[in-house]
Structure 1
Amino acid sequence: MSHATTINPRIVEGLYCEALVLSDEVRGAFDLSGRIEQTGTDADAARIALSCEALRTTTRMMHAMAWLLNHRAYFMGELSEFQLRRYGRLAPDFPAGDAQRLALLPENLQNLVSHTENFYARLLRLDRSWREPAPGVHSALDQLRARLSQNVA
């Protein structure tokens, strides 16, 4: 990768371990067995909030895990940098939790959702930092344009 200082196998492995633990916490926290009965039959809004935030949070963590697995594969030589740059992107506009729905959830679930959002934001910052070209480094296309403009003149 272009920016060896911003991302390396050690960083990816540490984040991967953190993501595994966080994903397991999400799975356990949003396990719906018994939760619907706890909310009662008159709490349709709470059940909908729980379902929506469970789906959004687990999807967020699946995207994070996929990004980390792609980077692990790159560092193990199973993916080329081209493949990683093309297919190993995080969705930059992944929606955050809905504040009104989150307010209907217990505090521990609200905190967990927030934790996954913060984790995903960290991955986004890391992803953006290594995708940006280093100062003074021109892309192959820029170099080709420069050569063509020199030959034309």
Structure 2
Amino acid sequence: MKHTSNINPRIVEGLYCEALVLSDEVRAAFDLSGRIEETGTHEDAPRIALSCEALRTTTRMMHAVAWLLNHRAYFMGELSEFQLRRYGRLAPDFPAADPERLLLLSPQIRKLIAATEEFYARLLRIDRGWREAAPGAPRAIDQLRARLGSAVA
């Protein structure tokens, strides 16, 4: 991986620290032991909303941390660029929070969910920028065809 302006070890380390702090906030906010009773009602809708958004938000942060760990491993020489490109992808279509369920949650929880969505979107932009080939650079398949052509000729 070339050290481009959009990703380098320093940026990855900063994002990793931010992800750990955000993940800890998510864990504390969605610690469901006792949280269900705090919804203040015996209705199922707020409980389901809290459970669903807890799962979605913690999964989003797990994906973000895994992506950052893969990049850290690459910069430490533990992964090749091929491995990183193949296995170090973020899901570009990870679902956002359900707007109807968000209305059933407290403002603090909604703010935290929005922060995780913004963080994930930042990682997606960085990942997309890193994956885009440099202008004029041959694609991997074109490079392979050229190597095969020169080997056969």
- What is the TM-score when the length of structure 2 is the normalising length? 0.91
Tell me the residue number matched to 2:76: 76
Deviation at 1:6, TM superposition (A): 1.7
Calculate the aligned-residue CA RMSD, in Å. Answer: 1.8
What SS does the aligned partner of 2:69 have?
helix
Tell me the residue number matched to 1:6: 6
CA–CA separation in structure 2 for the residues paired with 1:26 and 1:33: 14
Tell me the residue number matched to 1:55: 55
Deviation at 1:143, TM superposition (A): 3.8
> Are the counterparts in 2 of residues 60 and 116 from structure 1 also a CA contact under 8 Å?
yes
Tell me the residue number matched to 2:114: 114
CA–CA separation in structure 2 for the residues paired with 1:121 and 1:33: 30
Tell me the residue number matched to 1:67: 67
Tell me the residue number matched to 1:93: 93
What SS does the aligned partner of 1:42 have?
coil
Tell me the residue number matched to 2:130: 130
Deviation at 1:112, TM superposition (A): 0.3
Deviation at 1:36, TM superposition (A): 1.7
CA offsets 1:37-92 (integer angstroms, 9 cap, x no match): 22245221000000000000000000000000000000000000000001000011
Q: Which runs of 4+ in 1 moved over 6 A?
A: none
CA–CA separation in structure 2 for the residues paired with 1:134 and 1:41: 55
Amino acid at match of 2:34: G
CA–CA separation in structure 2 for the residues paired with 1:7 and 1:143: 24
CA offsets 1:11-57 (integer angstroms, 9 cap, x no match): 00000000000000000011112222222452210000000000000
Deviation at 1:3, TM superposition (A): 5.3
The answer for unaligned runs of 5 or more in structure 1 is none
The answer for unaligned runs of 5 or more in structure 2 is none
Deviation at 1:5, TM superposition (A): 2.2
CA–CA separation in structure 2 for the residues paired with 1:144 and 1:59: 37
Amino acid at match of 2:27: R
Amino acid at match of 1:25: E
Deviation at 1:145, TM superposition (A): 4.5
Percent identical among aligned pairs is 77
* Deviation larger for 39-48 or 124-133: 39-48
When residues 141 and 2 of structure 1 are mapped into structure 2, their CA distance, relative to the original with a 3 A threshold, is: farther
